[in-house]
């Protein structure tokens, strides 16, 4: 299963392969179900305006809904409640919503697994029996033995809103450090569990964010990163600065944790600590915002009180630590290789003249490298589809890994001495299947394969390439029922992201399966700004070039219409986070091109995004209104600022959540308020604001089903999809 990409926090590279996030899918609000009548005519809540005006480099910009940024104010809470009442009433009156929810629930009810990993002779993996709100972590001594529940997040809250967000197992397999998030917040608490007894120890860490954990080889503690505690009332909106790297010694209070590294002169630097598999070195990766470039330092743990050594400090490329052979460190880097390569640096001779290239750049994009069975396992993207190759430690090709089809794989982690690795494979019509890969023989066998009530053979996937506004060749996946008639009347959902070096690849989604069953066409466009073709592709959609992303998306829509897959009256667009910005920008630039829009947790105010939580980190992709040139570019496409009075906009349902401390909900509040005020015509403009939910990670299955039922019901109402059979009874 592929995670829905969101605007990610600073990338703390090189964390241990045992640090994993469990499968998390985005969702929004719980709303009542049932309907018997057509939706009522909408009367939107009254939204007051203020006379707030800012001056940006000589340009005055009005911000009449600034008051909605105060999420703790009674007036804001009243506005949220009023908007939710309108949205709830409208969605509940849509014929077929009950049947859509019933079909989603049945489709969702299938067993699914995470990719197993091994520590200290024990295997660990996640499993969801189908409708559990959160996946459960299991451990097992052998792959054929009965699994034992190690941690069940469903027991930690009555409504499933506490999620397991990170974990690390000690080298001997006896201790689990794990992170928990409540209500979807990025803030985490970390605890320690004895794997043998299943009981928690006294250790309890707070105010952890954008961090994993990495155990020392001796198991006496682990490294992690955190911020200082925020001021009262600022936890969900205060700016996050001055990240720090700590060592927590087992059995001690957090206040006694040793500060390993900080930079008081660099408030925007973020730190990730990783202990090498041989236990000798602590690798410190330093990020700055969401820029793929990073710095690297290290500390020799075999020497008492060894200093932190600066290794790569030029901030000229990305350097992802892979593994080491003594003093030789292997890095995947895009230095002089925008599609990435593997190099070796001997820290006893760190000069660039001594660096060695192990795996050179190819025409495909190198996404990741691991070392298992004394071999490199390299994962590639070819036109946004996965490929995997095996190399010797000298960089000599061994074999290509045979994959089940054109889709997406993940996993292949392990240790150098291991002879097996596990990986997942998924496609648009195939849910995540887990395979065990035997390195000596090159044979793959199925470990776990989901079974669900969906006829994958009834649908086909094709990849097309279209020309954007400037003739750039852009790929797009299309998924639809076999025998589709190209008559321009097919309800079509176009999805995109286009940012932060994130690649969109084929992946299974329950709601997408339901969409296909209802006769919809699904289109996924691989826009510039993503990582599908390496760093050049990413940079082509950033800062002053961000309009390229919107042009790519608009060109995808125009291609679908021109080739008779759909028409403007049958076309909807969808995206989340940076993809929410994409949808907001495109519906303001070309409102006549789309019938419906679903912007989720989007960045809608491009002049103030950097003033909240981790928003400042996105300046590496967006730029900042503090810079005159970048201000003009941002102001030209900022969704909130480019809405115009008297325009007939597409039917729009904005979604956000009260605990979103990644993209604060004020973005969606302000955009929806202005859209409701300016829009003319009968197309509905709704905002759906979830409670006890955040940016997308860790939301319970019940909320996922409710959200997707609302989305599909909304699109059915606007585009005229075929309802599930139960709706006709």
Would you kindly state where each structural domain of the chain is located, as residue ranges? 71-106+454-728
pLDDT category, 39, cuts 50, 70, 90?
A: low
Spatial neighbors of 518 by CB under 8 A, at least 6 apart, are: 491, 712, 716, 721, 722, 723, 724
Report the topology of domain 71-106+454-728: Rossmann fold (3.40.50)
What is the DSSP-derived secondary structure letter of residue 145?
A: S
CA–CA distance, 564 with 10 (Å, rounded to integer): 41
- pLDDT higher than 80, residue 366: yes
Closest among 151, 94, 103, 92 to 127, alpha carbons compared: 151
- pLDDT higher than 80, residue 327: yes
The token pair at 505 is: 């690849």
**Measured between alpha carbons, how far is residue 269 from residues 12, 264, 318, 332, 615 in Å?**
10, 9, 15, 21, 14
Alpha helices in 596-700 (DSSP H): 619-622, 628-637, 666-678
How confident is the model over 486-508, as a mean pLDDT? 97
For the chain, give the percent of residues with pLDDT over 90: 89
pLDDT category, 171, cuts 50, 70, 90?
A: very high
Considering only residues 592 and 6, tell me which one the structure prediction assigns the higher pLDDT.
Answer: 592
- pLDDT higher than 90, residue 458: yes
CA–CA distance, 186 with 10 (Å, rounded to integer): 12
pLDDT category, 25, cuts 50, 70, 90?
A: very low
Decide: 296 and 318 in contact? Cβ < 8 Å.
no
Burial of 466-482, coded b for 16+ CB within 10 Å and e otherwise, reads: bebeeebebbbbbbbbe
- pLDDT higher than 80, residue 601: yes
- pLDDT higher than 60, residue 437: yes
Closest among 290, 513, 503 to 387, alpha carbons compared: 503
The token pair at 600 is: 């989720």
263-300 per-position pLDDT tens digit: 999 999 999 999 999 999 999 999 999 999 999 999 99
What is the DSSP-derived secondary structure letter of residue 673?
A: H
Q: What is the mean pLDDT of the chain?
A: 92
Supply the residues annotated as catalytic. 577, 695
Give the position of tokens 């240790």.
415
Distance from the first to the final alpha carbon of the chain: 34
Q: 238: exposed, middle or buried (C-beta count within 10 Å: 0-12, 13-18, 19+)?
A: middle
Closest among 253, 313, 259, 246 to 286, alpha carbons compared: 313
**Crossing angle (nearest 10°) for helices 578-589 and 547-562:** 70
Query: What pLDDT is attached to residue 176?
Result: 98
């Amino acid at each position: 299963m592929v995670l829905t990409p969101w605007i990610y926090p600073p990338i703390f590279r090189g964390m241990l392969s045992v640090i994993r996030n469990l499968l998390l899918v985005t969702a929004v609000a719980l709303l009542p179900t049932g309907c018997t009548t057509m939706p009522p005519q909408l009367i939107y809540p009254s939204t007051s305006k203020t006379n707030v005006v800012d001056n940006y480099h000589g340009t005055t910009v009005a911000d009449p809904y600034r008051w909605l940024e105060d999420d703790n104010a009674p007036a804001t809470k009243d506005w949220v409640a009023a908007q939710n009442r309108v949205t709830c009433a409208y969605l509940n009156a849509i014929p077929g919503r009950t049947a859509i929810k019933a079909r989603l629930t049945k489709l969702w009810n299938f067993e699914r697994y995470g990719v197993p990993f091994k520590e200290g002779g024990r295997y660990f993996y996640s499993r969801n029996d189908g409708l559990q709100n959160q996946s459960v972590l299991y451990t097992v001594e052998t792959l054929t033995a009965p699994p034992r529940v190690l941690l069940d997040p469903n027991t930690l809250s009555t409504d499933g809103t506490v999620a397991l967000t990170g974990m690390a197992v000690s080298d001997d397999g006896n201790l689990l450090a794990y992170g928990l998030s409540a209500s979807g917040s990025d803030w985490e608490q970390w605890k320690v569990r004895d794997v043998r007894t299943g009981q928690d120890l006294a250790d309890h860490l707070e105010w952890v964010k954008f961090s994993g954990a990495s155990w020392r080889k001796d198991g006496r503690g682990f490294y992690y990163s955190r911020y200082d505690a925020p001021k009262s009332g600022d936890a969900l909106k205060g700016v996050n600065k001055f990240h720090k790297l700590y060592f927590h010694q087992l059995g001690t209070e957090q206040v006694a944790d040793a500060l390993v590294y900080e930079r008081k002169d660099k408030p925007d630097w973020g730190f990730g600590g990783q202990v090498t598999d041989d236990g000798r070195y602590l690798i410190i990766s330093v990020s700055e915002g969401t820029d793929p470039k990073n710095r690297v330092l290290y500390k020799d743990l075999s020497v008492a009180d060894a200093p932190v050594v600066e290794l790569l400090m030029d901030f000229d490329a990305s350097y992802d630590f892979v593994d080491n052979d003594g003093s030789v460190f292997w890095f995947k880097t895009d230095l002089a290789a925008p599609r990435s390569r593997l190099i070796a640096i001997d820290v006893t001779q760190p000069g660039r003249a001594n660096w060695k290239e192990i795996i050179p750049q190819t025409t495909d994009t190198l996404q990741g490298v691991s070392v298992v069975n004394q071999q490199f396992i390299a994962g590639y993207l070819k036109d946004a589809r996965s490929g995997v190759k095996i190399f010797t430690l000298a960089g000599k090709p061994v074999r290509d890994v045979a994959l089940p089809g054109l889709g997406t794989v993940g996993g292949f982690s392990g240790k150098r001495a291991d002879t097996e690795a596990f990986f997942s494979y998924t496609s648009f019509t195939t849910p995540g299947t887990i395979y065990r890969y035997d390195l000596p023989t090159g044979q793959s066998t199925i470990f776990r394969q989901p079974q669900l009530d969906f006829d994958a053979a009834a649908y086909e996937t094709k990849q097309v390439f279209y020309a954007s506004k400037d003739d750039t060749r852009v790929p797009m996946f299309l998924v639809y029922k076999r025998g589709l008639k190209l008559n321009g009347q097919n309800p079509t959902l176009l999805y995109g992201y286009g940012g932060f070096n994130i690649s969109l690849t084929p992946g299974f989604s329950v709601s997408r399966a339901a969409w296909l069953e209802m006769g919809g066409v699904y289109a996924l466009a691989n826009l510039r700004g993503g990582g599908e073709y390496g760093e050049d592709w990413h940079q082509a959609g950033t800062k002053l070039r961000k309009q390229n992303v919107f042009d790519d998306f608009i060109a995808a829509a125009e291609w679908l219409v021109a080739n008779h897959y759909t028409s403007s009256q049958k076309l909807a667009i969808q995206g989340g986070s940076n993809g929410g910005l994409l949808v907001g920008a495109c519906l303001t630039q070309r409102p006549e091109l789309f019938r419906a829009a679903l912007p989720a947790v989007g960045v809608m105010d491009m002049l103030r995004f950097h003033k909240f939580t981790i928003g400042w980190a996105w300046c590496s992709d967006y730029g900042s209104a503090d810079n005159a040139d970048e201000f003009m570019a941002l102001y030209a496409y900022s969704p909130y600022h480019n809405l115009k009075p008297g325009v007939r906009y597409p039917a729009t349902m904005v979604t956000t959540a009260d605990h979103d401390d990644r993209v604060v909900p004020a973005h969606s509040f302000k955009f929806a308020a202005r859209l409701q005020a300016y829009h003319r015509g009968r197309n509905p403009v709704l905002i759906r604001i979830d409670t006890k939910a955040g940016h997308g990670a860790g939301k319970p299955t019940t909320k996922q089903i409710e959200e997707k039922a609302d989305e599909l019901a909304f699109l059915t109402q606007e585009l005229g999809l075929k309802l599930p059979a139960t709706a006709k009874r």
